[in-house]
Amino acid sequence: MTELKLETLIEGTGDREVQSGDQISVHYTGTLVDGTKFDSSVDRGQSFTFTIGLNQVIQGWEQGLLGMKLNEMRKLIIPAELAYGERGSGSVIPSNAVLIFEVELVSFAE
């Protein structure tokens, strides 16, 4: 798999769409292809805030969250090249792993 795949699970609301430079807060759950959960802001009960376009997150998120609207939920299937590649991430994400995220846009930070 070499390309990012997106699926809208819940349609968003309003006219504003995520663009580069926006600071946003999301809830997410990340799993491996075999269903192993490796991270979840939902489980922690705390959203994750970052700015699109500053390489604060993996490229699959940088590309896959553009155009989202408030309260939208997307499923992102991210190839290793747009995630952690050959290096993986610690003992949690193996080398060359395809990652699956369900991401909900909970707010635009002003």
The catalytic site residues sit at 28, 38-39, 58, 84, 101
Amino acid in the structure at residue 43: D
Indicate if the alpha-carbon torsion angle 40, 43, 44, 48 is positive or negative.
positive
Q: What percentage of the chain's residues is helix, strand, coil (to nearest 5)?
A: 15, 40, 45
